[in-house]
């Protein structure tokens, strides 16, 4: 009896390894190996051509002494301050609008998702044209209000304009997440609240928003990750300017690695950026994540 149980365990064990094996192999090649190489690179001085030299934490010290590091940290913070409130509020409003639609709900949701799947390079070019000094946006503003807005050419406006673009891209996607969250809220809760005399506004603040907590946390996590990985829009539109106001972590990592031939420095910067975004995600979850029960 004991033997048959043991051999059954062995078979299950082998089955387990066989089933998970491809994943382990995949993870080893595409995650573990690049990660180990990234850490080695971060501790090295190299220019892709000459032999690599280990410099231990020199790159880390250099990064903290580099004013550009503080500039991109501040720029990323500014981007998050513009982007997160804007995308959260607009995608919740959009999700609520979707949920009210009686017909073609999926069609509307998918239409807004189109922005998310469109090419970053293509829409960056389109936005550059739309918001240039002689583009339609400024022509409209000038004809109706007599003002021009230097969307991408003013240091105070450029990052905000990029945040607007990125909000447009991700609003539909995040709205889908919120729509799923809204559909999971039991209707009875609203009915009970109405009987108790709660206004729509109170219902939103006391029922909808608290019960959307898990969706909000998820969108926040996605938005923070995105903020540390933003590249195409500033690279295509502003080139990091004006006055470095739209330089981002990825732009500096790319330039340092491939144009200044300092992949070690860039690797260390990428580890720091990843650490910062993970830290911020943990902090966000600690601050806003709540256990939500519908019963």
Partner 1 sequence: MKKKVGLIFLAVIMVVALVGFSETITLKLWTAPNPNQNLFWKTLLPQWAKTHPNIKIKWSQIPAAGSSEEAILTAIASNRQPDICTNIFSGFAAELINSKAIVPLDSFPGFKDLLKKRDMVNVIKGWESGGHYYVLPIYVNPMLVWWRSDILAKYGFKEPPRTYSQIYALAKKVVIPHKRYAYQAVTGVNWWDRWFDFITDYYAASAGKPYIYPEKQVAVFNNKYGKEVANFIYTMFKNHYTAVDLGNLPFYTGGVVGKVNGPWSIPYAQKQFPNILKNDTVVTPPPVPDNYPKDKPIYTFADTKGMIIFETSKHKDAAWEFMKWVYSNPEHDVLWIKLTQMPPAREDLLANKLFDPYLKDPIFAAYAKYVPYAIPTALSAKTVSIQQAMTNKLIEPLMYLKTTPEKALDDAVAAVNNILFQ
Structure-token pair, residue 55? 């410099």
Question: What are the C-alpha distances in Å from 111 to residues 6, 96, 115, 182, 248?
Answer: 56, 16, 8, 19, 30
Cα(77)–Cα(284) distance, rounded to whole angstroms? 14
Cα(99)–Cα(76) distance, rounded to whole angstroms? 33
- Minimum CB distance to partner 1, residue 134 (Å): 3
Burial class (CB in 10 A: 0-12, 13-18, 19+), 274: middle
- Minimum CB distance to partner 1, residue 71 (Å): 10
- Minimum CB distance to partner 1, residue 170 (Å): 23
Question: What are the C-alpha distances in Å from 55 to residues 59, 234, 256, 275?
Answer: 8, 32, 17, 21
- Minimum CB distance to partner 1, residue 83 (Å): 22
- Minimum CB distance to partner 1, residue 42 (Å): 16
Structure-token pair, residue 144? 């109706």
Q: Which residues bind partner 1 (CB under 8 A)?
A: 47-50, 128-129, 132-135, 142, 148, 150, 152-155, 238-244, 254-255, 258-261
User: Contact, 182 vs 99, CB < 8 A?
Assistant: yes
Considering beta carbons, is residue 216 or 267 the nearer one to partner 1?
A: 267
Considering beta carbons, is residue 70 or 278 the nearer one to partner 1?
A: 70
Considering beta carbons, is residue 179 or 230 the nearer one to partner 1?
A: 230
Considering beta carbons, is residue 215 or 246 the nearer one to partner 1?
A: 246
- Minimum CB distance to partner 1, residue 244 (Å): 6
Considering beta carbons, is residue 167 or 245 the nearer one to partner 1?
A: 245
Q: Is 2 helix (H, G, I), strand (E, B) or coil?
A: helix
Considering beta carbons, is residue 126 or 221 the nearer one to partner 1?
A: 126
């Amino acid at each position: 009896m004991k033997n048959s149980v043991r051999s059954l365990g062995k078979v299950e064990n082998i089955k387990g390894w066989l089933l998970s094996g491809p994943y382990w192999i995949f993870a080893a090649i595409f995650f573990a190996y690049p990660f180990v190489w990234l850490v080695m690179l971060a501790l090295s001085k190299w220019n892709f051509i000459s032999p690599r030299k280990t410099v231990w934490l020199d790159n880390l010290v250099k990064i903290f002494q580099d004013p550009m590091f503080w500039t991109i940290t501040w720029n990323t913070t500014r981007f998050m301050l513009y982007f997160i409130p804007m995308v959260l509020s607009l995608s919740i409003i959009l999700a609520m609008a979707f949920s009210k639609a009686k017909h073609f709900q999926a069609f509307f949701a998918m239409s807004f998702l189109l922005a998310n799947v469109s090419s970053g390079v293509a829409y960056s070019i389109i936005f550059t044209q739309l918001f240039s000094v002689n583009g339609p946006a400024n022509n409209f503003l000038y004809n109706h209000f007599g003002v021009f807005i230097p969307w991408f050419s003013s240091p105070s406006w450029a990052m905000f304009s990029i945040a607007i673009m990125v909000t447009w891209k991700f609003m539909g996607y995040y709205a889908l997440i919120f729509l799923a969250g809204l559909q999971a809220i039991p209707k009875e809760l609203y009915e009970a609240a109405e009987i108790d005399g709660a206004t729509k506004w109170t219902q939103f603040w006391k029922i909808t928003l608290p019960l959307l907590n898990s969706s909000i946390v998820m969108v926040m996590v996605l938005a923070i990750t995105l903020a540390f990985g933003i590249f195409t829009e500033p690279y295509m539109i502003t080139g990091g300017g004006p006055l470095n106001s739209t330089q981002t972590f990825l732009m500096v990592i790319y330039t340092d690695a491939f144009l200044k031939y300092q992949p070690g420095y860039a690797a260390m910067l990428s580890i720091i950026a990843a650490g910062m975004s993970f830290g911020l995600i943990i902090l966000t979850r600690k601050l806003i994540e709540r256990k939500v029960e519908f019963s």
